[in-house]
Amino acid sequence: FNGSVQYEFIYHNLDTLFLKDLTNFNRKLMQHLVWYNTKRPHLSLDLKSPLQYVLDNDQNSRMWWTSTLRPHLINCLVNLDRFMNMPKYGKRI
């Protein structure tokens, strides 16, 4: 995960870091992470996004401290398109 973020995002956004525009960098990073987990195909998941993999397998997490309930995941997607279409520069919404 860290290597993917470094190669796919950070190296392509070094100019934003050098300008010390951390607000814009963080906004772009959050958009990238949402895309990474909801749209980007992962080889280890049979070329599905992590979200699609969880929805297709419809399993609860086996970890004792969390639960991945399908309705909860679907509700989390309600504002995804709005977030992904936020302006990259300019005023905050």
For residue 13, name the pLDDT band (cuts at 50, 70, 90).
confident
pLDDT at 2: 66
Tell which wins on pLDDT, 18 or 54. 54
Q: Is the pLDDT of residue 66 over 70?
A: no
CA atoms within 13 Å, Cβ hemisphere of 58: 2
Distance CA 88, CA 77 (A): 20
Report, as an integer, the average pLDDT of 43-72: 74
Alpha carbon 81 to its chain centroid, in Å, reads 12
Which amino acid does the sequence have at 56? Answer: D
Report, as an integer, the average pLDDT of 36-55: 89
| Residue 34: exposure state from Cβ atoms within 10 A (0-12, 13-18, ≥19) | middle
Helix (DSSP H) and strand (DSSP E) numbers for the chain:
6, 0
pLDDT at 32: 84
Q: Is the pLDDT of residue 21 over 50?
A: yes
Check residue 76 and give left, alpha or beta (phi > 0: left; psi -120 to 50: alpha).
Answer: alpha
Q: Is the pLDDT of residue 34 over 70?
A: yes
CB contact set of 77 (below 8 Å; sequence gap of 6+): 38, 51
Global pTM exceeds 0.75: no
pLDDT at 93: 45
